[in-house]
């Protein structure tokens, strides 16, 4: 089995069509978040399998919030 990590914008048309048929009411319940190693980014992704290929579809990225308390009295 083949594994691919791909952005939603770069998905082939047949994968987008399959995604719409698999999730006709949206896929928000199956989306998960992960942190990219070595970068301060959090990604939202969806995992599906179509025609023997495992796709990890990156939906969006955002910077990781690293708000540290700088108050010495805390």
Indicate the DSSP class of residue 73.
T
On whether the CB atoms of residues 4 and 53 are closer than 8 A, the answer is yes
| Per-residue model confidence as pLDDT tens digits over 46-60 | 999 998 999 999 999
DSSP class per residue in 3-71: EEEEEGGG--HHHHHHHHHH-TT-SGGG-EEEEPTTSSEEEEEEEEEETTEEEEEEEEEEEPP------
According to the model, what pLDDT value does residue 71 have?
Answer: 56
Q: Which two tokens stand for residue 6?
A: 């791909």
Model confidence, pTM: 0.76
Q: Residue 68 above 80 pLDDT? A: no
According to the model, what pLDDT value does residue 33 have?
Answer: 93
Domain locations along the chain: 2-63
Average pLDDT of the chain is 87
| Per-residue model confidence as pLDDT tens digits over 14-47 | 999 999 999 999 988 999 998 888 888 899 999 9
């Amino acid at each position: 089995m083949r594994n691919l990590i791909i952005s939603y914008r770069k998905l082939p048309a047949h994968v987008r069509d399959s995604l719409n048929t698999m999730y006709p009411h949206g896929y928000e319940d199956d989306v998960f978040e992960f942190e990219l190693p070595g970068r301060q980014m959090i990604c939202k992704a969806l995992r599906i399998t179509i025609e023997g290929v495992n796709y990890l579809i990156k939906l969006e990225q955002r910077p990781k919030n690293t708000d540290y308390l700088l108050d010495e009295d805390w």
